[in-house]
């Protein structure tokens, strides 16, 4: 009833919907960088949306399954080999006890999510199995997977799995660049009058020191009007905080709970899955939108996910 890690891949962590409710005590939320693909993978194997999956970054792992399970991979597009034979992403497939699943080559996107029927069942810490690397909390000892790790699995639900492969991925994978919509604020009034225009004037490149905490962006300089320090306040997912350099940092899943830099704008929730598929060297164009646009986009995304989740349970293992 476990997965054995033969090769860990570059950065493979256990993630669930995140560790909510403890930010007042300084505990970061963590969770998937692309929470939509995480949910898609769970839906394809008939899991609850919050079941723990493996987040796989750029170079995938090799895994051995100790028991028969339904598995699905969503998000970044990888070539998969199941006991040497090709397997498909965005579709559920059965792995037999003793099978080896290899992530061979990555075609597009940065992060894939591997869901296993029953979910990964590592211990729950403060209500979540999500791995937070900096505080070494959750997942497999609070760290990325290593060769030799044995990941316990939950009881497999009796054969609930989607009959269908996805016609198209729910998160459109960026091809080196992406447009992300932003809402101004919460501290846009700390910036020069033309800073919001500057943010939208040319693409930003995701810098090499970007990670699960945040993307350090390189592009048009954003000028402060009232200095680069604020009294530390909360740091939402998707916020663009701007230190004195004028180069924004896009706050991602592992962000700290608070920070002392003003935040000029915040990426809308519906576009954060796309952001999670970006990596160093990719480009981001920011475009301002309205709260109404943001909600409409989120509702459309939720409808697609709910349709997929309702589709589960058609075939039995």
Partner 1 sequence: MSVPRVVAAGDSALVVEFDAHVDPVINDRAISLSDAIRSAGIGGIRDVVPTYRSVAVYFDPLRTDYDALVKRVEREASTPSIQPGTARALLRIPVCYGGDFGPDLAGVAAFARLSEQEVVGLHGASTYRVFMLGFVPGFAYMGVVDSRIAMPRRATPRVRVPLGSVGIAGAQTGIYPAETPGGWQVIGRTPIKPFDPQRVEPFLLQAGDAVRFDAISREEFDQWPSA
Which of 73/182 has CB closer to partner 1? Answer: 182
Interface ranges with partner 1 (CB under 8 A): 20-29, 125-126, 134-137, 183, 185-186, 230-234, 236-239, 256-259, 263, 266-269, 291, 294-295, 298-299, 302
Tell me how crowded residue 83 is: count the other CB atoms within 10 A of its CB. Answer: 12
Task: Kindly state the smallest distance separating residue 108's Cβ from partner 1, in Å.
Answer: 27
Evaluate whether 179 touches 287 at the Cβ level (below 8 Å). yes
Surface-to-core class of residue 20, CB atoms within 10 Å of its CB (0-12 exposed, 13-18 middle, 19+ buried): middle
Q: For the CA atoms of 66, 69, 73, 78, what is the dihedral angle to 10 degrees?
A: 50
Tell me how crowded residue 189 is: count the other CB atoms within 10 A of its CB. Answer: 11
Task: Kindly state the smallest distance separating residue 294's Cβ from partner 1, in Å.
Answer: 4
Task: Kindly state the smallest distance separating residue 223's Cβ from partner 1, in Å.
Answer: 20
Tell me how crowded residue 43 is: count the other CB atoms within 10 A of its CB. Answer: 27
Task: Kindly state the smallest distance separating residue 107's Cβ from partner 1, in Å.
Answer: 31
Which of 89/270 has CB closer to partner 1? Answer: 270
282: phi then psi, degrees, rounded to nearest 5: -75, 155
Which of 27/116 has CB closer to partner 1? Answer: 27
Which of 101/249 has CB closer to partner 1? Answer: 249
276: phi then psi, degrees, rounded to nearest 5: -65, -15
Quick check: helix, strand or coil at residue 61?
coil
Task: Kindly state the smallest distance separating residue 132's Cβ from partner 1, in Å.
Answer: 8
Evaluate whether 71 touches 7 at the Cβ level (below 8 Å). no
Which of 126/192 has CB closer to partner 1? Answer: 126
Handedness of CA 200, 205, 207, 212 (dihedral sign): positive
Which of 70/275 has CB closer to partner 1? Answer: 275
Residue 307 to residue 133: CA distance in whole angstroms: 33
Task: Kindly state the smallest distance separating residue 179's Cβ from partner 1, in Å.
Answer: 17
From the list 235, 232, 244, the residue with the least C-alpha distance to 191 is 244
Quick check: helix, strand or coil at residue 33?
coil
From the list 112, 120, 116, 123, the residue with the least C-alpha distance to 97 is 116
Tell me how crowded residue 36 is: count the other CB atoms within 10 A of its CB. Answer: 25
Task: Kindly state the smallest distance separating residue 252's Cβ from partner 1, in Å.
Answer: 13
Which of 27/71 has CB closer to partner 1? Answer: 27
Task: Kindly state the smallest distance separating residue 18's Cβ from partner 1, in Å.
Answer: 9
């Amino acid at each position: 009833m476990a997965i054995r890690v033969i090769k860990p891949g570059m950065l493979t962590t256990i993630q669930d919907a995140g560790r909510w409710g403890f930010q007042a005590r300084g505990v970061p939320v963590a969770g998937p960088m692309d929470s939509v693909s995480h949910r898609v993978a769970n839906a394809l194997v008939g899991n609850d949306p919050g079941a723990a999956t493996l987040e796989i970054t750029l170079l995938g792992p090799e895994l051995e399954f100790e028991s028969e399970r339904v598995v699905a991979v969503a998000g970044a597009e990888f070539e998969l080999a199941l006991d040497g034979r090709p397997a498909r992403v965005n579709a559920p497939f059965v792995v037999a006890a003793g099978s080896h699943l290899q992530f061979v080559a990555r075609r597009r996107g940065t992060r894939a999510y591997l869901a296993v029927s029953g979910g990964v069942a590592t211990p729950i810490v403060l209500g979540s199995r999500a791995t937070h690397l900096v505080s070494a909390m959750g997942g497999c000892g609070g760290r990325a997977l290593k060769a030799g790790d044995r990941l316990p699995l939950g009881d497999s639900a009796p054969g609930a799995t989607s009959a269908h492969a996805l016609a198209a991925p729910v998160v459109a994978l960026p091809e080196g660049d992406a447009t992300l919509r932003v809402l101004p604020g919460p501290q846009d009034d700390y910036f020069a009058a033309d800073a919001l225009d500057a943010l939208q004037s040319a693409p930003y490149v995701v810098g090499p020191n970007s990670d699960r905490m945040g993307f350090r962006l390189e592009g048009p300089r954003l000028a402060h009007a009232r200095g680069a320090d604020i009294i530390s306040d909360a740091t939402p997912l998707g916020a663009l905080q701007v230190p004195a350099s004028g180069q924004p940092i896009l706050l991602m899943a592992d962000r700290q709970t608070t920070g002392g830099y003003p935040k000029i704008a915040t990426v809308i929730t519906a576009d954060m899955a796309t952001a999670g598929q970006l990596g160093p060297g990719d480009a981001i164009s920011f475009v301002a939108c309205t709260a109404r646009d943001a909600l409409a986009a989120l509702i459309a995304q939720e409808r697609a996910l709910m349709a997929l989740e309702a589709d589960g349970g058609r075939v039995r293992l």
